[in-house]
Structure 1
Amino acid sequence: MELDPGTVAIIQLAWSRLLRLEDAALAGDPAERIVRVDEASGRLTFVTLFGKEALVGPEWAVEAARRLPGVQLRQQSTLVELSRKHGGRSLGEAQLYFSDTLPNLEVLRNTAVSSDQEFVDGLERMCPPDDVSEAGLGSLDHRFILVDDRRPENPAPLAGAGYEPWAGILAHLRVLTAPQHRGRGLAGRITAVAVEEAMAAGFVPQWRARVDNTASQRAARRAGFAFGGTQTSVALG
């Protein structure tokens, strides 16, 4: 799918603000890389967005990266190597996806949607700690849990999705599915609920998938998200 040009402009504005650039910085000439020196920054970040590149970090990092092509800078191994003498630790390399189309909400028999904390806790107990940490559903104010209610006296969580507002513009999505219920399309169904709620609140949904997580990338596309760019960061010190 393709995003509406107006949506692209809104996303560019949001990321310009997230990176503390001028509002129109990421809407400029794609041939010109945007650079912001931030000596107080505790990280080095490289973002590509709809063909535009932006690099934010201390001056030593900006200078070291100046002559490197974007295809190389977006690899976490490159940023780790550049920052090795400064204690660089990878924060990940991810793909960014966005959506501006309302999802088709399918009714799934014998299920309900809840935001109750007990179902969030129950779902997290069913999942590996790394998955729980990455999704972070428990820390979100906006989260939705798909619940199996075939036994009303003992409903069980199946999958969850939620979002965190970024820059007052984007709805950064988080998704978590219990391992024993994966591969059934449940994540897509509860993601559709989160997307609809986010869009109703005036946000543009954003999905971030690690480059080594092909399942998440496929899920984003199945959910109607379009690829928009990449984000690679390392922590310093």
Structure 2
Amino acid sequence: MTLDPGTAAIIQLAWARRLGLADDAFAESLRSGERIVRVDDAARTVEFVRLFGSSALVGPEWIVDAAAGIPDEEMAHHVTLLTLTRTHGGHGLGSAALFFADDLPLRQPSEELTVSHGNPEAIELEGLCPPDDVNEVGLSDLENRYTIIREVEGRRVPIACGAYTEWEGLLAQMGVLVDPEWRRQGMGSLAASIAAHEALAAGLTVQWRAEVSNTGSLALARKLGLSTGGIQTSVHLG
């Protein structure tokens, strides 16, 4: 689905505040055609973000200087940031595509389901999933959780959880975790849809971050009807 014209401005405002920039930084960047930069010599992470045609780079002065002549298209590649930060111990994180929505079609389950808002069910679900998946989704950092419960052999079992946390009171940063035994059955998209509609009802714009190499996460974002809005590339410094 397409975004309302004013939604891009809301998204850029949230990211500007998240990155420690002026509220109108992205709008000014779009008008001037120049990259936004913020020097933070104490930063332990370098962030490059591109949103709706505007870009921002936040990090120590040496990375800002080194990146000055490099086009945004190249800066969006994780390997570029790794190369620029190699002598300062640059490692990890990667590049993530950013998807957004201010409205979504309602997905109706084919059967009646129980949805829990409690923490114990989400924690139990994490125990059923591979640690890498648990760490990537980070349910513990997403305070609004909606866990789908199924009756299995007389036991109530959590099978999928859609969750979000608020960014700057404007965006709902989403995450979804599904028990491996219940994957490829539509449970992930259903859990995500439940959480997304709760976020929209709260007046937030939905945000989905998908690592560019995570084909499953990218496919789920598109299946939900989210719109592509940008990319975030980050590295930790040693």
Superposition TM-score tier, normalisation by shorter sequence: over 0.9
Deviations 1:20-69 (A, max 9, x none): 11111112343211111111211111001011111111110000000011
Normalised by the length of structure 1, the TM-score is 0.95
Q: Please state how far the C-alpha of 1:110 moved relative to its aligned partner.
A: 4.6
Given that residues 112 and 149 in structure 1 are in contact (C-alpha distance below 8 angstroms), is that contact kept between their aligned partners in structure 2? no
Q: Which moved more, 1:25-34 or 1:182-191?
A: 25-34
Q: 1:190 matched to which residue of 2?
A: 191
Deviations 1:89-119 (A, max 9, x none): 1212100000011431303315211122332
Q: Please state how far the C-alpha of 1:88 moved relative to its aligned partner.
A: 1.0
In the TM superposition, 1:65-214 aligns within 5 A as: 65-149=67-151, 153-214=154-215
Q: 1:64 aligns with which of 60, 66, 82?
A: 66
Deviations 1:194-227 (A, max 9, x none): 0111112221110000000111111001111100
Q: 1:219 matched to which residue of 2?
A: 220
In 1, distance between residues paired with 2:222 and 2:69? Answer: 33
In 2, distance between residues paired with 1:138 and 1:57? Answer: 27
- RMSD (CA atoms): 1.4
Given that residues 143 and 194 in structure 1 are in contact (C-alpha distance below 8 angstroms), is that contact kept between their aligned partners in structure 2? yes
Given that residues 93 and 234 in structure 2 are in contact (C-alpha distance below 8 angstroms), is that contact kept between their aligned partners in structure 1? yes
Letter in 2 for 1:38: D
In 2, distance between residues paired with 1:203 and 1:175? Answer: 17
Q: Does 1:26 find its partner at 2:7? A: no
Letter in 1 for 2:206: P
Deviations 1:66-85 (A, max 9, x none): 00111111111111111111
Identity of aligned residues (%): 47
Letter in 2 for 1:138: S
Q: Please state how far the C-alpha of 1:150 moved relative to its aligned partner.
A: 6.2
Gaps of 5+ in 2: none
In 1, distance between residues paired with 2:47 and 2:179? Answer: 32
Q: Which moved more, 1:104-113 or 1:173-182?
A: 104-113
Given that residues 123 and 158 in structure 1 are in contact (C-alpha distance below 8 angstroms), is that contact kept between their aligned partners in structure 2? yes
In 2, distance between residues paired with 1:212 and 1:171? Answer: 22
Q: Does the residue aligned with 1:207 lie in a helix, a strand or coil?
A: strand
In 1, distance between residues paired with 2:13 and 2:123? Answer: 35
Given that residues 39 and 64 in structure 2 are in contact (C-alpha distance below 8 angstroms), is that contact kept between their aligned partners in structure 1? yes
Q: List, as ranges, runs of 4+ consecutive aligned residues in structure 1 with deviation greater than 4 Å.
A: none
In 1, distance between residues paired with 2:237 and 2:214? Answer: 25
Letter in 1 for 2:102: D
Letter in 2 for 1:185: G
Given that residues 111 and 149 in structure 1 are in contact (C-alpha distance below 8 angstroms), is that contact kept between their aligned partners in structure 2? no
Q: 1:3 matched to which residue of 2?
A: 3
